[in-house]
Amino acid sequence: EKPYKCKECGKSFRQTSVLKSHQKMHTGEKPYKCKQCDKSFAHSSSFRTHQKIHTSEEHCSCPECGREFHQLSHLRKHYRLHTGE
């Protein structure tokens, strides 16, 4: 059962915390702000992932053009531009 319903779109959730997180999508609220580059995030998990950009020495490089990415998923998405996939 999903008793917690979003008033904006009608989507239902099992937990109020998940509903509150979802509602940020509608309001545009981004309370997690990076002090190093001023980017803002709606969710703490996205903010924590972003912070690794500033602290990590590990980078993934594109084998085609050499562009560097902080997340492997971003490199994979970029690499599709070269492969046409």
pLDDT at 57 over 90: no
* Distance separating alpha carbons of residues 63 and 68, to the nearest angstrom: 10
- Whether 39 and 22 map to the same domain: the answer is no
pLDDT at 61 over 90: no
pLDDT at 41: 93
pLDDT at 56 over 70: no
- Whether 44 and 71 map to the same domain: the answer is yes
Give me the domain span that covers residue 2: 1-28
pLDDT at 54 over 90: no
